[in-house]
Amino acid sequence: MAENKIFDFIRNEINEHEVVLFMKGTADFPQCGFSAMVVSILQSVSVKFKDHNVLANEELRQGIKEFSDWPTIPQLYIKGEFIGGCDIVREMYESGSLSELVRDLQSHGVTCNNEKRLETTQASVQLTE
């Protein structure tokens, strides 16, 4: 039954928020390089997102992996759709397809407050877990 509760929570979050990132740490304090990279990318395309620290809740940490059938964290959802983890988000960013995807969100007012941007750049993020 616990699985259903966590799945319900995840479904609610990805339906309630346009962009949701399940990550290690928070957007203000990522606790792994992969999560930091995705936060940096999302902030560089100026999109507002809801972050969930899976390290604070073991049930969520395991539940999100089962929900998406994806074994790693971070996990990004946009408009209720699972996008992928760090490598996929980075590839989409580099190809420009992530910018295209969030362009529609930005036209509907889902943008980021520039004051919350991290000072991290792609080059300075060390990818260690």
| The predicted structure's pLDDT at residue 102 | 87
pLDDT at 122 over 60: no
Q: Residue 129: inside a domain, yes or no?
A: no
Rounded CA separation 75/68 (Å): 9
Rounded CA separation 37/21 (Å): 12
pTM as predicted: 0.81
The SS3 of residue 80 is coil
Helices (H), 17-96: 33-44, 58-68, 86-95
pLDDT band at 52, cuts 50/70/90? very high
Q: Residue 69: inside a domain, yes or no?
A: yes
Mean predicted lDDT score pLDDT of the chain: 84
| The predicted structure's pLDDT at residue 110 | 53
User: Residue 79 belongs to what domain range?
Assistant: 2-124
Give the count of domains, the chain. 1
Domain CATH code at residue 67: 3.40.30.10
pLDDT at 126 over 50: no
DSSP strand pairing (75-78 vs 50-53): unpaired
Q: Residue 31: inside a domain, yes or no?
A: yes
| The predicted structure's pLDDT at residue 124 | 33
